[in-house]
A and B are shown apart, each in its own frame.
Chain A
Amino acid sequence: MIFSIAWKNFSRQGIRAALNVTVTALAMIAVVFNISLYNGFQAQTTRNMIRTDVAGGHYRAPGFDILSPTEWEDFTLKIPTALKDLPPSDKAEVLVQQGQLFPNRRLYPVQMRGIDINQTLLDLPLEGLKSYSGKVNDIIPAVLGIKMAQKAHLKKGDTAVLKWRDQYGVVDARDMLVVDVVTMVNSRVDEGVLWLRLDHLRDMTGRPGEISWVAVKDFQGPVAAMEFQTVEELIADILNLIENDRKYAKIFWIILIFLAGIGVFNTQILNVFKRQKEIGTLMALGMTAAQIVGLFTLEGSMAALLSVVVALILGTALFAWFQSVGLDISHLSESTIPVHENILLDIHSSEVAATLVIIVCVMVLVSWLPVRKITRLDPTLALRGRAIT
């Protein structure tokens, strides 16, 4: 009986019930959306790093540090056979050397990064280099990322003087031709980087068969004279950033849940407040306190469950649409965070479940608490609408 009365009460409240359900559903959607956007940002950051640079880890010359350009020349070595024999889909040989570019009579220190042009492990748009022969001529073909091109004021087809030192310390210089300007989702392989063919860079610097590192798909076991750096080590700074970001995201999530809870509490308490006289009437008609508390808690539970259904329907539609467009973060193009494409949501079922459960619990709790309080007071107070003020 209580169930059918509760359903009748709930389903016939019209706009009040609709408002209650809508507010709660929107609160659920907002909380899940926010945390999923954070997740998406973090997941894409990590994925881009792995896709464009890190792969499954690097075999590096011991002591090589990408942040110490003046030492790059001291940490190259011949590629070991064990790595050289890997197919192009499983490894990418990389040689990094210091250089100086002189676009429009300005000096621009660059990282000359030579990469095996046949590799398919890293997702880098360097097709522009493939049409050139393996022997470097008077003009050195190079591919630039958009950010690099913008900062150096270069565009496709432009030339600029490129200066470097070979393995004996002899300075050499030649014209560099921009054969392509490409979009790089990872700014770390864009800004300050001049992408060259590996065979060209080896030829230019007199380092045949040498590498700074070899990115591999999977760990190949210990390799003599090289040290293996895991994905976690290579993106430690990003992971630390994400870890800190995640802490703030969790705090923000808790704040949002709290705000959503207050919203739900406010709506529910207003609902109960408006129905005080009804509660008093039910007491006068002979309903016990337990029946009344059960009735209102059941109504609150129905509203909560319907809110979950509405949130799932609206949320699915909203999230599906959002996944088709993403969040444009082009305004972050000056940052070094390796995400430049639109951010998509990364929805974790555990977080969705936690959000829904918490809000449902809040809703049921705020249906139960004030009514319980009212039923413990004199029915006359409820009849006069003064049980809760």
Chain B
Amino acid sequence: MDSIVKLDKVIKVYRVGDEDFAALHEISLDIEPGAFMSFVGPSGSGKTTLLNLIGGLDQPTSGSIYFENVSLGNLDRTALAEYRRKNLGFIFQTYNLLPVYSVYENILFPLLLDGNRESAVRQSVEDIVASVGLSDQIKKKPAHLSGGQCQRVAIARALVKKPALILADEPTANLDAENSYQILELMKKLNHQFKAAFVFSTHDEKVTKYVNREVGLEDGRVRWDKRRNGAGSLE
């Protein structure tokens, strides 16, 4: 199967004070369409850096990243923004919902950015709100939701435009165990439903039980790449 994302000898070096700090060392890997995988490792291992590079939020120091065979290195800032808008959904550890918007408006927002009229996509938004179980909270603002509910909104926002790839940075880090499991169940279900590839960064062992593929990172290097079928409770 053709990969949706391909990393080829990606190196990322940060300048910290007077010294260079290598966050990633020659990372090469492929991500398949519809994948449900995680980058696992301790803090500072390079998980978030890797997600940011794939998301076009950061640039590699050297090496190449391809999305559907297009090198992100050839895209300028505006093209990168379009790449994110058309192809990606982001889920953040701290949810990053727009605080002045309701649940409905937060989820509607990416569709409006894509040039849709609200009347044309209202049903899609309501459907996805229903699929994350928040129909009764649709008019509420993030400040009036629990952490788990906020993360559900973030998931719905990431999925509503039906992107090919969802990047989730520590999506369960701010949630208690019960909410974490619920969120993971939900993402697994939506992965099946929408066929979007989910890529997590995490050091949460609960997440690793659900994914089909686990890429272990340490000190910016890939230490293991385990694939398994039947992961998670849905299987």
Does B16 reach chain A (CB closer than 8 Å)? Answer: no
Q: Looking across the interface, which residue of chain A has its beta carbon closest to that of B141? A: A12
| A288 neighbours in B (Cβ, 8 Å) | 77-78, 81-82
| A12 neighbours in B (Cβ, 8 Å) | 100-101
29 A-B residue pairs with Cβ-Cβ distance under 8 Å, sorted by A, are A1-B112, A1-B113, A1-B115, A8-B100, A8-B105, A9-B100, A12-B100, A13-B100, A277-B94, A281-B90, A283-B57, A283-B84, A284-B55, A284-B57, A285-B85, A285-B90, A285-B109, A285-B110, A286-B81, A286-B82, A286-B114, A287-B81, A288-B77, A288-B78, A289-B77, A290-B78, A378-B58, A383-B57, A383-B96
Q: Are A283 and B81 in contact (CB under 8 A)?
A: yes
Q: Looking across the interface, which residue of chain A has its beta carbon closest to that of B51? A: A380
B78 smallest CB distance to A (angstroms) = 5
| B101 neighbours in A (Cβ, 8 Å) | 8, 12
Does B25 reach chain A (CB closer than 8 Å)? Answer: no
| A13 neighbours in B (Cβ, 8 Å) | 100
| A9 neighbours in B (Cβ, 8 Å) | 100
Q: Are B110 and A5 in contact (CB under 8 A)?
A: no
Does B195 reach chain A (CB closer than 8 Å)? Answer: no
Q: Are B58 and A285 in contact (CB under 8 A)?
A: no
A37 smallest CB distance to B (angstroms) = 40
| B84 neighbours in A (Cβ, 8 Å) | 283-286
Does B75 reach chain A (CB closer than 8 Å)? Answer: no
The digit string for B65-92, where 1 denotes a CB below 8 A from any CB of A, is: 0000000000001100111111010101
Chain B residues numbered 84-138 whose CB sits less than 8 Å from any CB in chain A:
84-86, 88, 90, 92, 94, 96, 98-101, 105, 109-110, 112-115
Q: Looking across the interface, which residue of chain B has its beta carbon closest to that of A288? A: B81
Does B212 reach chain A (CB closer than 8 Å)? Answer: no
Give Cα A9 to B141, complex, Å.
13
Secondary structure of the A contact surface, majority rule? helix
- A residues in contact (CB < 8 Å) with B: 1, 5, 8-9, 12-13, 277-278, 280-281, 283-290, 378-380, 383
B165 smallest CB distance to A (angstroms) = 13
B70 smallest CB distance to A (angstroms) = 16
Give Cα A278 to B82, complex, Å.
18
Q: Are A287 and B113 in contact (CB under 8 A)?
A: yes
| B28 neighbours in A (Cβ, 8 Å) | none
| In the complex, number of A-B residue pairs with CB atoms less than 8 Å apart | 70
Give Cα A284 to B157, complex, Å.
12
Does B179 reach chain A (CB closer than 8 Å)? Answer: no
Does B52 reach chain A (CB closer than 8 Å)? Answer: yes
5 cross-chain pairs, A with B, having the tightest CB-CB distances, nearest first = A286-B85, A12-B100, A286-B84, A281-B96, A288-B81
| B96 neighbours in A (Cβ, 8 Å) | 277-278, 280-281, 284, 383
| B98 neighbours in A (Cβ, 8 Å) | 278, 281
Chain B residues numbered 23-52 whose CB sits less than 8 Å from any CB in chain A:
52
Give Cα A281 to B90, complex, Å.
9
Q: Are A380 and B100 in contact (CB under 8 A)?
A: no
Give Cα A378 to B58, complex, Å.
6
| B157 neighbours in A (Cβ, 8 Å) | 285
Q: Are A289 and B81 in contact (CB under 8 A)?
A: yes
B60 smallest CB distance to A (angstroms) = 12
| B77 neighbours in A (Cβ, 8 Å) | 288-289
| A283 neighbours in B (Cβ, 8 Å) | 57, 81, 84
Which one of B52, B85, B96 has the highest number of Cβ atoms from chain A below 10 Å of its Cβ? B96
| B55 neighbours in A (Cβ, 8 Å) | 284
B124 smallest CB distance to A (angstroms) = 16
Contact partner of A284 (CB less than 8 A), chosen from B90, B100, B114, is B90
| A380 neighbours in B (Cβ, 8 Å) | 52, 57-58
| A278 neighbours in B (Cβ, 8 Å) | 96, 98-99
Give Cα A9 to B99, complex, Å.
9
Give Cα A95 to B227, complex, Å.
115
Give Cα A12 to B99, complex, Å.
9
B201 smallest CB distance to A (angstroms) = 13
Chain B residues numbered 141-188 whose CB sits less than 8 Å from any CB in chain A:
157
| A280 neighbours in B (Cβ, 8 Å) | 96
Q: Looking across the interface, which residue of chain B has its beta carbon closest to that of A278? A: B98
Q: Are A289 and B78 in contact (CB under 8 A)?
A: yes
Give Cα A5 to B112, complex, Å.
10
A27 smallest CB distance to B (angstroms) = 25
Q: Looking across the interface, which residue of chain A has its beta carbon closest to that of B116? A: A1
B84 smallest CB distance to A (angstroms) = 4
| B115 neighbours in A (Cβ, 8 Å) | 1
Contact partner of A379 (CB less than 8 A), chosen from B57, B83, B88, is B57
Contact partner of A286 (CB less than 8 A), chosen from B52, B59, B86, B94, is B86
Give Cα A287 to B98, complex, Å.
14
A230 smallest CB distance to B (angstroms) = 64
